Amino acid sequence: MNVEHADVVVIGSGIVGLAHAYAAARKGMEVVVLERSAAARGASIRNFGLIWPVGQPAGAMLEMALRSREIWLDVLEQTSLPHWRTGSLHLAYRADEETVGREFADLGVKLGYTCQWMEPSGVTSLSDAANPEGLRGALYSTTEMTVDPRAAMAKLPAFLTERYGVDFRFSTPALAVRGGRVETSRGSWNADHILICCGHDLESLYPAELEQAGLQFCKLQMMRTFQQPDGWLLGPALAGGLTMRYYPSFEICGNLGALRQRITAQMRGYERWGIHVMVSQTMQGEVTIGDSHEYGSSVDVFDKPEIDELILDYLHAMARFPILEIAQRWHGVYARHPNEPYVRLRPEAGVEIVTGLGGAGMTLSFGLAEKTIEAMG
Ligand SMILES: Cc1cc2nc3c(=O)[nH]c(=O)nc-3n(C[C@H](O)[C@H](O)[C@H](O)COP(=O)(O)OP(=O)(O)OC[C@H]3O[C@@H](n4cnc5c(N)ncnc54)[C@H](O)[C@@H]3O)c2cc1C
């Protein structure tokens, strides 16, 4: 069987694999990316495309998200991939949401977030989509942006090949990794460094090490509307009060406990399915809506219409679009660690596994990849 050589073999062409291929290639290394499918088809093409620093806890993770955003901007410019640099609004319709939003705005600025509390008139001047009825204001942050995940995952491999000579091998599953060698169904590679970026496939390569790492699966249901009328723009990406209990950044707020208690007591379906509602816009003008969070050691292959209904009920109270009709529904899965923002393992010399970025892989990958490659020396 054919044996080839590369400085670095990256396994998986989701955003984590692509970001690592980019970081290694920019250091002058010869990089091969092996992807099981004919194109990436995991979480990286199923998400909102939101780069969401405001969700990261202050300190190292916020810094990583902001660095990642900088690299995204550089890559987007080099590839001419369209994107929205609109920031985000966490809309408040309840007193406890307003209290948490105001508290975050006060504390956040000192911790490195670029955010402010905005009164309803300011919110509606920024966003045609925010429902003005009952609106008490919003936390406005300027650092969030939206990329088109399907377009980005399709275009980045060609860009990496043309600009940095990265060699992509699609339809090439890695079957085993051992002693600096990767075995695939289409030959073997010897490499100085092997980076395993296989997303939520925790069963194929180093399953014992991954099991011990304590990762779990999370399944999310998503929807997308038909294209909105020409010229209609979402403006800032939208989130609501439910989102404040989801991202760890809001833990700085002493008032978060009361908001959580109200949701637990009064919104049982939302609590049960881990629902919070976020909205982004694609470059073609559709609106992407999600999502739910079903955690566990296995993934239910069947979707639950009840979850979509809960998401849409909440959405209709917080946002208005010219076209609400749903054109697409799908689910995505990612791996996450209950306490860590990501998992990086070295099961043997020269091999790194990078996974478990949970709901922040688009936000963190480029920053994390830079750190992985630095640590590799
Ligand atoms: C519905 C949803 C919404 C989300 N929204 C956001 C968001 O807006 N912002 C944000 O920051 N994050 C978001 N996330 C999280 C983000 O999408 C993930 O953290 C990220 O995509 C994970 O990337 P990955 O490369 O690890 O995995 P994946 O994208 O799943 O890629 C892994 C790749 O590895 C390949 N592979 C696996 N095993 C092998 C093998 N043995 N050989 C070869 N190839 C292999 C797979 O085919 C796959 O293409 C969302 C996730 C979901 C599911």
Paired residues of 121 in beta bridges: none
Give the distance (Å) from ligand 1 centre to CA of residue 281: 20
Tell me the one-letter amino acid at 289.
Answer: I
CA dihedral 227, 19, 291, 337 (to 10 degrees): 180
Q: Which atom of ligand 1 is nearest to the CA of 360?
A: 11
CB count in 10 Å sphere of residue 330: 13
Give the distance (Å) from ligand 1 centre to CA of residue 60: 22
Ligand 1 mutation pick, 34, 178, 334, 372, max ligand atoms within 8 A of CB: 334
Q: Which atom of ligand 1 is nearest to the CA of 354?
A: 26
Give the distance (Å) from ligand 1 centre to CA of residue 238: 22
Q: Which atom of ligand 1 is nearest to the CA of 153?
A: 29
Give the distance (Å) from ligand 1 centre to CA of residue 44: 4
Cis ω on the peptide bond leading into residue 167 (within 30° of 0)?
no
pTM for the whole structure: 0.97
For residue 209, report the phi and psi dihedrals to the nearest 5 degrees. -65, -40
- Ligand 1, CB within 6 Å, residue ranges: 11-17, 34-37, 40-44, 46-50, 52, 173-174, 197-201, 204-205, 220, 222, 290-291, 332-334, 355, 357, 359-363
Q: Which atom of ligand 1 is nearest to the CA of 37?
A: 47
Give the distance (Å) from ligand 1 centre to CA of residue 117: 33
* 3-state secondary structure string across 285-317: CCEEEECCCEEECCCCCCCCHHHHHHHHHHHHH
Give the distance (Å) from ligand 1 centre to CA of residue 361: 7
Residue with tokens 């989701």: 14
> Which residues of the chain, if any, have pLDDT below 70?
1
Give the distance (Å) from ligand 1 centre to CA of residue 47: 9
Res 1: pLDDT: 62
All structural domains of the chain: 3-45+150-213+341-376 (3.50.50.60), 88-142+216-336 (3.30.9.10)
